Amino acid sequence: MDRVKELRGGSAQGDRVVYWMQASQRSECNHALEHAVELSNNTGKPLEVLFVIDPGYPSANRRSFTFMIQGLQDVADRLSERGIAFSVRQGDMMTEVMEHVAGAAALVMDQGYLRHQIRWYEQILESTEIPVWQAEDNVVVPVSMASQKEEWSAATLRRRITPLIDENMVSAPERELRSRSDRIWDEGYAWKGVDEYLDSLDMTGPLPSTQHKGGQNEASKRLKRFLDERLYRYAEKRNEPSGQWTSDLSPYLHFGQISPLTIAGEVSGRIGSEVFLEELIVRRELAVNFVTYNPSYDGFECLPDWAVKTLDEHRDDHRDYTYSLQELEKGETHDVYWNAAQSEMLATGKMHNYMRMYLGKKILEWSETPEKAYEAAITLNDRYELDGRDPNGYAGVAWCFGKHDRPWKERGIFGKVRYMNAKGLERKFFMPAYVELAISYLQDAENNGDRPRA
């Protein structure tokens, strides 16, 4: 199966080929971009890459937009070197895209999997008549090739996806554009610098991350650092919350600033690769499978029947502590580890995976109802994590409530949903080091003039 699909054919009548960049915010290993270059070369029509900054994007905030716009600067530089025109517009996504593709010869799109993105693709097909192509290059194995239904667990997806990995590990080498252009940035967009620009949009919300800067150049540096310094001990150390042994690539993957094909290609064959590729391919693509086939992916209703039943049976159980979303958000609970995790997220925009699990489990334990807990976990994740608003976030929260897991021994509040506690953290890890690290992140942010506490 080719990962670039013709969604609607026809002859290229208009004046230019447009690649609407949205989910793959990169110039490297971008199948949609390279396909658009090929279409431009074949038809002799100029190529234009369109990007729309939509301040109304679900859960858009200052932190995520800073990261995204930092990334656009890298894209602009590289497209300019390649002689590819780049138009950045600001406004409602569909209004801008429709206006822009009117009169185009063909449209190429990349692919995301959330419901608003799917709706955009449908609207484009409904409201235009031009040839449309779509490239699915933010996964290693195209979703419907891996499975045509919602998978029960990592084990069931693993069986299907593993034999398909090698044949799909095809990168997208840069093609030369024949009719070069020197037009970068559209007249509709005034480039002012990230801060000034976000001020002009009145963009609020959590402040930019002190630890993670956006862009494909930064993503490449992180990948290199990971390969050189971390991968060899990843299998053994990745769960250590204060250890910093993971790749830190999730925000870059979320914005499509790096392709999973690039990462998988570089990692394959090295010591530690097996465990890492399980996360990057099986776990991550299980999340994409989940949002593709489960329409309630961000709500309590997405959970398996056994989890809904057991949580319902325990909804009236006594809770030693209950916190509202606002109280949780401040990171001032009775639990020092939970507060440290919340601080890490508030200050850096990226919490360690093990602590994300702990955070979600405790939100379930400390909320008045499992439904309120679910909503709080999604809200915090989408608001503060740079990699939030992502299939992985929806699958991660759902996992805390039993999704992709199995029933465990029954207990209060959780019923048969897997439980976690502070003693477990202390048994496995040296937790004072994590608390110390979280405090240092808060101090960094405060020294930076930020007030990361909610």
Ligand X SMILES: Cc1cc2nc3c(=O)[nH]c(=O)nc-3n(C[C@H](O)[C@H](O)[C@H](O)COP(=O)(O)OP(=O)(O)OC[C@H]3O[C@@H](n4cnc5c(N)ncnc54)[C@H](O)[C@@H]3O)c2cc1C
Q: For binding to ligand X (CB under 6 A), which residues are involved?
A: 238, 246-250, 253-254, 279-280, 283-284, 287, 353, 356-357, 360, 381, 385, 387-388, 390, 392-393, 396-397, 399-400
Of residues 177 and 373, the one with the C-beta less far from ligand X: 373
The two structure tokens encoding residue 136: 């699915």
Instruction: Work out the angle between the directed axes of helices 260-267 and 216-225 (0-180°, nearest 10).
Output: 20
Q: Angle at Cα 57 formed by Cα 86 and Cα 221, nearest 5°?
A: 55
CA distance 75 to 21: 10
Min dist CB 106 to ligand X, Å, is 31
DSSP H or E segment with residue 306: helix 305-313
Closer to ligand X by Cβ: residue 177 or 386: 386
CB of 156 to ligand X, least distance (A): 15
CB-nearer residue toward ligand X: 16 or 212? 212
From CA 21, how far away is CA 88, in angstroms rounded? 10
Token pair listed for 449: 């003039």
Q: Provide the strand spans (E) within 65-144.
A: 85-90, 106-109, 132-135
Q: Rounded to the nearest whole angstrom, what is the least distance from the CB of residue 350 to ligand X in the complex?
A: 7
Q: How far is the CB of 434 from ligand X (least distance, A)?
A: 14
Q: How far is the CB of 177 from ligand X (least distance, A)?
A: 31
Closest CB 178 distance from ligand X, rounded Å: 36
Residue at token pair 């000034």: 196
Q: Which is nearer to ligand X, 181 or 216 (CB)?
A: 216
Could you give the maximum distance between any two Cα atoms of the chain, in Å? 70
The two tokens of residue 360 are 């979600």
Min dist CB 252 to ligand X, Å, is: 8
Identify which of residues 47 and 291 has a Cβ nearer to ligand X in the complex.
291
| Cross-sheet strand order for the sheet of 47-53 | 4-8, 132-135, 106-109, 17-20, 47-53, 85-90
Of 197 and 226, the one with the shorter C-beta distance to ligand X is: 226
Give ∠ CA 61-135-2 in degrees, rounded to 5: 150
Query: What is the nearest approach in angstroms of ligand X to the Cβ of residue 142?
Result: 17
Chain position carrying tokens 């667990």: 153
Distance from C-alpha of 84 to C-alpha of 19, rounded to nearest angstrom: 11
From the CB of 237, what's the least distance to ligand X, in Å?
A: 10
- Beta strand 47-53 with 4-8: parallel, antiparallel or unpaired? unpaired
Q: How far is the CB of 349 from ligand X (least distance, A)?
A: 10
**Choice between 49 and 340, CB closer to ligand X:** 340
Q: Rounded CA gap, 127 and 168, in Å?
A: 32
CB of 432 to ligand X, least distance (A): 21
Dihedral sign for Cα 293, 170, 136, 298, please: positive
Tell the residue number behind the tokens 């993670």, with chain if given. 212
Strands 132-135 and 4-8: antiparallel
Nearer to ligand X, 175 or 237 (CB): 237
User: Which is closer to ligand X, CB of 21 or CB of 280?
Assistant: 280
Contact 434, 355 (CB under 8 A): yes
Burial bucket for residue 229 (CB in 10 Å: 0-12, 13-18, 19+): exposed
The nearer residue to ligand X, 23 or 280, going by C-beta atoms, is 280
In terms of CB distance, is 344 or 387 closer to ligand X? 387
d(CA 219, CA 223): 6
